[in-house]
Amino acid sequence: MTLLRLDGVRRHFGANQVLRGFDLDVAEHDVVCLIGASGSGKSTLLRCVNLLDTVDDGTIWFDGRDITDPRVDPDDVRREIGMVFQAYNLFPHLSALDNVTLAPRRLLGQARAEAEAAARVLLDRFGLAEKASAHPDSLSGGQQQRVALVRALAMRPRLLLLDEITSALDPELVGEVLDAIRELKAEGMTILMATHELAFAREVADRVVFLDGGRVLEEGPPAAVLDAPTHDRTATFLRRVVSASSGQDPDTR
Amino acid sequence: MASPSVASDWTPSEVQLERLDWRRRQARRRSTIALTSTVVVLGVAAVVVVSSPGWDRVQETFFDWGEAKAAAPEILDGFWTTVQMFLLAEACILAVGLLVAFVRVVPAAGLAPLKLLAIVYTDVARGTPTLLVVYLIGFGLPALQLQGIPNSLFVLGVIALTFSYGGYVAEVMRAGIESVHPSQWASGRSLGLSYGQTLRLVVMPQALRRMLPPLINDFASLQKDTALVAAIGVFEAFRAAQQESARNFDYTPFVVAAVGYIALTIPVARLTDWLALRAVRREQGATA
């Protein structure tokens, strides 16, 4: 079943057309990886789906409902869509536990005890049991990002948007965050993620989508897109990313 | 396939046009509601005031155009003193506030006695009513009969205002400096900048942006509190209004003075709004 459908989505910033008629289907329980150069519109796309950004044209359907209709209450939609950001965006004035319980308590009306019990289960699952009372500034990047993930999960979203969530992490911390995503996939979570981790995309993605010039240039199973791209631009991009991550040519990063 | 020319030929779809239309109608509805409610509230307030039993008396004694015109030159004269006084006081207050804030922030063991002094000063300055400070400094300082103590009431008034407001401003500045994230100190120092350079070149510019609204707040308050200096006999706007009012036992000069004070603070308020907006724009750029 299709959970999310983008139909001719456009987003312009002045003369800069970031998305020029973007089409995409995400089936329930699928993991879809968005790849493409910086500035290809991956983040804008995710922000549009979470209604943090307003599309200039086109329609986004979530669970059969047009969420780009201005009559839709964005808060309603966002409650069912979790988002995790590249820079974690944890609330620095709250402990890890309070970061996680804020939304369930305020929006779902959960009692503190109930929300905290659920949050502790989640934190424990992602190896953060001891960090519940720590504040974000005292956590490592990997820990902060896992807290951010748990914070999004605490609302029991039907769709998870991940915006290059490992890009700001040290290499040895990337693994722990990717492990968390593997677990979510195994659980059947629907995930739309922008990433530069091609090896990871190959492993977990059901589909890989290559963005170029604000459109889908190529999409399909990871093996097809990553190993046998049909477009030159895809091939060039893949070569660059691979050589950059293997340290051969840092200039192309 | 994805040629740029396709995109530049783009015309909004039916759906998008309908959305834009709906948003426009919503915006129109909101502004209509805002306008109507404003007119109604102001209208009711005006009716209540004008139909009150004492309105004729009030109009005569507070809003007498002839009195206003007669009093205006003297009050304007007073305002010149007011403006001089707060401009001078503002400069002194900024200096005192900055000094006290630095003393309290800088982590140097040798400054311990100064730190204590700074804490005592802010406590006393903020804890004492400004009017009392004006009396104490205006009458007390000259009474000491020490060499070099000024006997100009104007100068004594400025000293009193500086003493009183320096405490508030020092705390605003300290809070601003401490609100800058420690990582900024670390990155400044990591470049080899000294403590003072990091404070001046990295931390203060960021702190200044956050300090600006409360600072302007304090200065707006100061502009009004210059009127307290009338208590020791400085001829400024409030004193002039008092004098004019006493001539015919009419309160219109006070209303004239009030309008003057408002006219002085409004440009400053707009300037702050503009500065804040510009800072946000500059830092966040266009939405990316």
pLDDT digits 0-9 by tens, A18-34: 999 999 999 999 999 99
B109 located within any domain:
yes
Q: In B, which residues are within 8 Å of A53 by CB distance? A: 287
B241 located within any domain:
yes
Q: In A, which residues are within 8 Å of B23 by CB distance? A: 70
Check: CB of residue B166 under 8 Å from CB of residue B100.
Answer: yes
The tokens for A112 are 């503190």
Tracing tokens 């309908």 back to the chain, one arrives at B18
B132 located within any domain:
yes
pLDDT digits 0-9 by tens, B184-229: 999 999 888 989 899 999 999 999 888 988 998 898 889 888 888 8
Q: Can you give the pLDDT at residue B285?
A: 63
- Whether pLDDT at A250 is above 50: no
Q: Can you give the pLDDT at residue B125?
A: 94
B135 located within any domain:
yes
Greater confidence (A212 vs B284) lies with A212
B131 located within any domain:
yes
- Whether pLDDT at B5 is above 70: no
What own/partner pairs with CB < 8 Å and gap ≥ 24 does A8-11 have? A8/A57, A8/A58, A8/A59, A8/B13, A9/A45, A9/A48, A9/A55, A9/A57, A9/A58, A9/A59, A9/A60, A10/A55, A10/A56, A10/A57, A10/A58, A10/B10, A11/A41, A11/A44, A11/A45, A11/A48, A11/A53, A11/A55, A11/A56
Domain count, chain B: 1
* Residue B19 near chain A (CB below 8 Å): yes
B40 located within any domain:
no
Q: In A, which residues are within 8 Å of B26 by CB distance? A: 70
B183 located within any domain:
yes
- The model's confidence at residue B6, banded by pLDDT at 50, 70 and 90, is very low
B146 located within any domain:
yes
- pTM surpassing 0.80? no
Identity of the residue in B4, B6, B22 whose CB atom sits nearest the CB atom of A70: B22
Torsion of CA B58, B63, B64, B70, to 10 degrees: 140
Domain that holds residue B194: 78-280
Structural domains present in chain A: 2-88+163-252 (3.40.50.300)
Check: CB of residue A85 under 8 Å from CB of residue A166.
Answer: no
Complex-level ipTM = 0.79
Burial of B278 per CB tally in 10 Å (0-12, 13-18, 19+): exposed
pLDDT digits 0-9 by tens, B88-105: 999 999 999 999 999 998
> At B222, which CATH number?
1.10.3720.10
Q: In A, which residues are within 8 Å of B19 by CB distance? A: 68-70
pLDDT digits 0-9 by tens, B134-143: 999 988 888 8
Tell me which DSSP letter residue B251 carries.
Answer: S
Alpha-carbon distance of B278 to B123, in angstroms, equals: 35
- Whether pLDDT at A247 is above 70: no
* Residue B16 near chain A (CB below 8 Å): yes
* Residue A80 near chain B (CB below 8 Å): no
Residue A194 parent element (H or E): strand A190-194
E strands within B49-158? none
- Whether pLDDT at B244 is above 70: yes
pLDDT digits 0-9 by tens, A155-192: 999 999 999 998 888 888 888 889 899 999 999 999 99
